[in-house]
Chain A
């Protein structure tokens, strides 16, 4: 089996038909593959997130990461773009859904697509992965420590978001949740509340909360990185996507 891949910047049609930048990584073989939309964290469409996107391709997935800040700061460095987006209140939920829908469509149009697509997001992207899975027909979704799915953001914050736990009834696919037991956003109580909402609506989900880990335990370039927890959680991701996105 070939391990060759191709990774590059592409453009896809996002919310409202806007052309947005995206990073696409795909295996170079003749097989059919499931697709994964990687939703970047609030620091943006950065090197670490592109590395994650390539990791999915290395594991046999068509992976794409849309630059959610394409409109605010085209061509800017990821940290400058994140600052510009923050100053304008962040990414509106409706636009996020439209951009993910565009990324999903782009994956399904690839010759190597098996027609199945899931999402994964980290930090703010975890919430957005849940939001996308409640708004679009998907095959699987992973929420990595997404804050404010449950719970109201602090007063005075200019971001255009609110709690979205009420959308749990619309979840279109199985959900894998990966959380740090020492995280404050989301807290273990908030994770439990989301779990309860999913159970009430009879949704298929699998949550894991890891002791000894807080927020951003996957982030290899940050002091929050917890290698043992991250390795175990990656194993959960491969099992989960392997079950739901394989041909």
Chain B
């Protein structure tokens, strides 16, 4: 993997990995060589909980168009959700 650009962010929520559901604390986003997708480069997202080990990971490798459509759709869905439902829904750190 050689473009090396990696964005990191903290987040909260849950993900389902190889060993079932776990709390998420962090994500990395990068455009680089995939492990599995049949492309030279893909938009990769790792949803992580480093405190629970390397296997606590939900991974995605998306072609660039799919990644944009997903990002746009996520924003559109959030924008269309009623404000009353969106407020006060963040997960408290104690629940992680």
Contacts of A148 on B, CB cut-off 8 Å?
2, 4
A94 to B38, CA, bound (A): 33
For the complex, is A80 an interface residue (Cβ under 8 Å from B)? yes
Q: Is the CB of B46 within 8 A of A87?
A: yes
Contacts of B30 on A, CB cut-off 8 Å?
86
Q: Is the CB of B40 within 8 A of A159?
A: no
Binds B, one of A5-13, A70-78, A171-179, A194-202: A70-78
Binds B, one of A25-33, A52-60, A134-142, A215-223: A215-223
Residues of chain B from 1 to 58 with CB closer than 8 A to chain A in the complex: 1-8, 26, 28, 30, 32-33, 35-36, 38-40, 46, 48, 50, 53-55, 57
Number of interface residues of B (CB under 8 A): 26
Q: Is the CB of A87 within 8 A of B8?
A: yes
Given A87-B28, A123-B2, A156-B5, are A216 and B35 neighbors across the interface (CB < 8 Å)? no
The DSSP consensus for interface residues of chain A is: loop
Name the CB-closest residue of A to B32: A42
Name the CB-closest residue of B to A88: B50
Contacts of A80 on B, CB cut-off 8 Å?
54-55, 57
Number of interface residues of A (CB under 8 A): 36
For the complex, is B59 an interface residue (Cβ under 8 Å from A)? yes
A80 to B46, CA, bound (A): 9
Residues of chain A from 5 to 64 with CB closer than 8 A to chain B in the complex: 41-43, 46
Q: Is the CB of A215 within 8 A of B40?
A: yes
